[in-house]
Structure 1
């Protein structure tokens, strides 16, 4: 096989009128080689002729189905059998779409960095990590909210990823920054998005989230399904919180973890030099973004008044935002309504108020118990022993460590009310006897 340069020399000599034998003698090759390249009109690589394949006639249809099913070869094989009656192996389909799959991977990896002007966008997302709290490994759900321009972030830990946690974290972020961005970009979480079809582009937000957005005056947006890089600033922020804010730390209580995160945001995250912007988030925020945010104008909390349905558990309590509130024991197993009004939790059954409690901060693991709700569950002597074993004793309304509400009606944290299982077992043994 001759090189492309030698074949080009053959063509030049032939154009000057030299015979094939003379050209072969000058280049040191066979005259038949010269004749073949002159017949081809230039250099061509060796190669076997491409064999016809079974799916050659279905290329256009395969391409359409390939884009629709995001390159899933097994689904394409099933569709070939169902729609075309062609029974082939999955490997045959993979060979047919191999070039398209390479193109798809390149498109997925290709990213254009999108920067937003000051005050334009807030990105919000949840992340999970295991943290040692009180000597026990617990799963913590971190809500991380990042301003798109300054990269200043707010972190709030929760025990769940419920809708109330999303909304509460956003409200606390608005008050922390002293303003509201124009847009809030979120993930396609069920608590916020009812339906998001990537093919048709249909997007349906949860009605409560839409009411929340209207209350605060921002435009809700959802990132494209299966493409978390749409909110890449916050995705990176979640990893940053896990790797810098919580990695390697242990905490005595949930409150200690919240206090540590507040210190970390203030002393570490806000003053670090960001790798993309090259500036400290706090300086960039104060210089350009603080004035671009929409003012709060003293607007009340959207969560100040809300209602939720709950079932009274066997301990006469309902759980609301990570805290427990007691109800009359006659309602055990019944469905009641929990109303939050002006920092007060009202429990209603069939439209009648059956209990009122001061509202506690979410996920503080507080237990509010009215003494009469537990009255009669145990004989007097066993009840007194139970109170003694679960010190401090339960008064008419349990007193509390510092939390939301007036000092006279604050609730006891679970850590001070709850004891080990052995303590409970001892009490229950005496009752059964």
Structure 2
């Protein structure tokens, strides 16, 4: 599956590159390259089950030998053999890697070239909106070279909301970097362990659509992001704390104004403003695809001829132009109605609903 992402990315960045050239770079057959380019979705597969079960009775003693007695791996294997362990050394070394307690290291942030890396994360907040405490998810996307930051927000943190925030970030940045660094949330990673690591299949499809390489911070290694360990600190102290908003739309509007202020500040590390430096990132970015990614879990509904739509057990009236049409419902920020089969570009109508059954405004 990761080969599929690599092939898609190479072709997106180099449209003239032949199958044979891609085959040589990825080290797979031209036939496999051709199949990958023809497939719009990443191939699915199942990993083989681990054979590390034989180590289960010895985990506590292995932990003690490694982290307390400071035994080397070869010594630990000898000790286990004497205690009746019959498994292989590969499984043992995978276990050692996962349970080793390392001394804290002083890490120096590293610099990346223009257009190479973006860093994406999110954090939940309780905010006073319309006089009521409301859970809001704040998203942060930082272009690593220029430090140009894009903020977005949602009322949901499901995969659809995350993908939508990433898409908006690429659009506002005016391009796509070579790779995007994330954490190990389930929307990105199915299994975060080193021994049985697996990317989320839908996320890999998203990566293939936009042509960037997925990259993650290892569990317990937040410094692997390199330079942006606290992307929300300034937001919390200068925007969230002590603030109230008339509506969620008011929150979004003021968040975008705050984003402009952040990017216009003189940055201590780059010695200029992110707004000034983002142009170098943009010159190195890959172009945005012609269409947005539509593989997220939108609800699809058909509007009746009398302009009614069913959602979560309730019926709502919608604008007349959607009568008889299939529409997407995207509920991350509000309910978006998008014509599923427009003649040219996607028409979009923002329509918000109250939680009361059948009530809309």
Bigger radius of gyration among the two: 1
Report the Cα offset of residue 151 of structure 1.
Answer: 0.8
Q: Is the 8 A contact 2:147 2:274 kept in 1?
A: yes
Partner of 2:275 in structure 1? 282
RMSD, aligned α-carbons: 4.0
After the TM superposition, which residues 249-328 of structure 1 pair with which residues of structure 2 at under 5 Å, given as runs?
A: 249-266=243-260, 268-286=261-279, 288-296=280-288, 298-303=289-294, 317-318=310-311, 326=315
Partner of 1:161 in structure 2? 157
Partner of 1:204 in structure 2? 198
Q: Is the 8 A contact 2:117 2:180 kept in 1?
A: yes
Cα distance between partner residues in 2 of 1:290 and 1:215: 19
Q: Deviations over 1:241-286 (max 9, x none)?
A: 22223222210100000001111112x1111122322321111212
After the TM superposition, which residues 230-241 of structure 1 pair with which residues of structure 2 at under 5 Å, given as runs?
A: 230-231=224-225, 233-241=227-235
Task: Show structure 1 runs of 5+ residues with no match.
Answer: 1-58, 69-79, 85-102, 328-343, 347-354, 369-403, 422-433
Compared CA separation, residues 67 and 231, structure 1 to 2 (3 A): farther
SS of residue paired to 1:151:
coil
Cα distance between partner residues in 2 of 1:159 and 1:359: 17
Could you tell me the TM-score, scaled by structure 1's length? 0.51
Cα distance between partner residues in 1 of 2:160 and 2:132: 26
Cα distance between partner residues in 2 of 1:117 and 1:325: 51
Partner of 1:339 in structure 2? none
Could you tell me the TM-score, scaled by structure 2's length? 0.60
Compared CA separation, residues 306 and 283, structure 1 to 2 (3 A): closer
SS of residue paired to 2:283:
helix
Higher helix share: 1
Partner of 1:363 in structure 2? 332
Q: Between Structure 1 and Structure 2, how many residues are aligned?
A: 257
Q: Which has the higher contact order (CA 8 A, sep 6+)?
A: 2
Compared CA separation, residues 155 and 411, structure 1 to 2 (3 A): closer
Compared CA separation, residues 183 and 325, structure 1 to 2 (3 A): farther
Report the Cα offset of residue 191 of structure 1.
Answer: 1.1
Compared CA separation, residues 273 and 221, structure 1 to 2 (3 A): same
SS of residue paired to 2:286:
coil
Cα distance between partner residues in 2 of 1:360 and 1:177: 26
Partner of 1:122 in structure 2? 118
Task: Show structure 2 runs of 5+ residues with no match.
Answer: 1-60, 71-79, 85-99, 302-308, 338-345
1:64 maps onto 2:66 in alignment: yes
